[in-house]
Chains A and B, each alone.
Chain A
């Protein structure tokens, strides 16, 4: 399957009369976009758009989602999120155009929740998220979803869907333009590879997206299907790169993978890059994270056998979450190792406020190659900044990284890593690790 990703490298975003892209500048018409999104998502009652750039002393809170602005030019799918905002169709072939180096960020105007986060565009924590280092169009809005207004766990449906629709609407402005550069992802079927490639060690990427919520509407979606209802499934990496996954609204945000990262997944890209050089990249095993022990066990055993049936001798396992999901993570690694598949795990840790807690809830010495992307318990001291959204949401609405007293009078903040938006970048973007002290 061949996917062409036509890139447009955005240097700046500005407001103007006409939605357009030219010479690295994306121009958006605020009124047009707000009218569009309110019409598409009638649940949105008030909304605004802002532009933030790296170095701006601005704090975004509560951040719900980040999305790459794209459009589908050709291929089976007509939209960038098939099965979600456009009819179900296979993602991963034809051509997609993307506005690179920027994102659309969705922020709650007032209310936050357990799963929302903070992004700082300047200061000590600017580099903690990749979004601090890119120019962002910020969609900040409030909705009429009163049933969950004061709930700690929020589906954030109108805002998330509004964000996706905006991202695609804006992405349309480069549909007919010539991309500045093109990435081609062309991975043939497993049985149709050259002798040289087949001689290389076969590797699978096992992704465990967050799917633990048993009530529908919160979990990661795969073609719009709630991942909680899945068994491990074999997929082509292009499907991920072309928008088959939509981030959920559950789990402390620092351990989450945003929709932006599911589609710009650096782990998938690196594996593709190594394909034919050091490895034979067989594909993606999409697994799950579950709450019941027998479900964890079933998925771990099935994914290991699937890897084995594909002839894999190596596997990368990524866990979107921490705590209870560590059990699924360690189980997957152990089941793979047991049948002789060499694994590397990528996940974050939770070592507690004093640093002395067991870093993963479930540990097994067979997992001897782990990459650590951060520590959810790490305390962060944030300097005061102008806020887009409502900072109080961090302390008031049950955010996983905030608490009563998190916000100080001068606007400075004490919080846990837990609440910084997708900052442990399990997708592979993280430039952090953990160490013994």
Chain B
């Protein structure tokens, strides 16, 4: 899905758990998520930490859209 959107000319950042998979389907900008059932958050965390994690990873994703890449790139996250 992301591949076709990117083919249409939009920069796309894929936030997903399975980075390996994202690479094989041709994603170019990627951000690691936590897990499949809860990509951006973690029910084991406090609501504050859950929100901080989501805010942070979305920020990394937004930054990636403004970053030129030559090849499939995983943008590192801190939390």
Contacts and interface: CB of A to CB of B under 8 A. Distances in A.
A and B touch in their complex, CB below 8 angstroms: yes
Query: What bracket does the count of chain B residues touching chain A fall in?
Result: 10 to 19
Contact of A291 (B24, B25, B32, B36): B36
Contacts of A324: 17-18, 36
B61 to A, nearest CB: 16
B63 interface: no
Given A327-B18, A361-B18, A362-B18, A292 B34 contact: yes
Contacts of A372: none
B17 A293 contact: yes
Contacts of B17: 291-293, 324
B53 to A, nearest CB: 13
User: Chain A contact residues: over half helix, strand or loop, or mixed?
Assistant: loop
Given A358-B24, A363-B24, A292 B18 contact: no
B37 A330 contact: no
Interface centre among A324, A331, A363 (most CB of B within 10 A): A324
Nearest to A363: B24
Contact of A292 (B20, B24, B35): B35
Given A293-B17, A293-B18, A324-B18, A362 B36 contact: no
Interface string A215-240: 00000000000000000000000000
B58 interface: no
Nearest to A330: B20
Interface residues of A, number: 13
A214 B20 CA distance: 23
A327 B17 CA distance: 10
A273 B46 CA distance: 52
Nearest to B24: A363
A362 B25 CA distance: 10
A364 interface: yes
A370 to B, nearest CB: 16
Contacts of B36: 291, 324
A324 B35 CA distance: 10
Interface string A244-264: 000000000000000000000
A416 B35 CA distance: 27
B21 A293 contact: no
B20 A327 contact: yes
A358 B19 CA distance: 15
A361 B18 CA distance: 9
A291 B18 contact: no
Nearest to B19: A293
Contacts of B34: 292-293
Interface in B25-65: 25, 32-37
A367 to B, nearest CB: 12
Contacts of B35: 291-293
Nearest to B32: A293
A286 to B, nearest CB: 22
Contacts of A361: 18, 21
A249 B33 CA distance: 27
Contact of B37 (A291, A362, A364): A291
A324 B33 CA distance: 14
B52 to A, nearest CB: 18
Interface string B10-24: 000000011111001
B21 A327 contact: yes
A291 B24 CA distance: 19
A324 B37 CA distance: 11
Nearest to B42: A292
A358 B21 CA distance: 10
A214 B21 CA distance: 22
Interface in A114-154: none
Interface of B: 17-21, 24-25, 32-37
Interface of A: 214, 291-293, 324, 327, 330-331, 358, 361-364
5 contacts: A214-B37, A293-B34, A327-B20, A327-B21, A363-B24
What are the 5 tightest A-B residue pairs by CB atom distance, in nearest-first order?
A: A292-B35, A291-B35, A362-B20, A291-B36, A362-B21
Given A324-B17, A331-B20, A362-B18, 4 more contacts: A292-B35, A324-B18, A324-B36, A358-B24
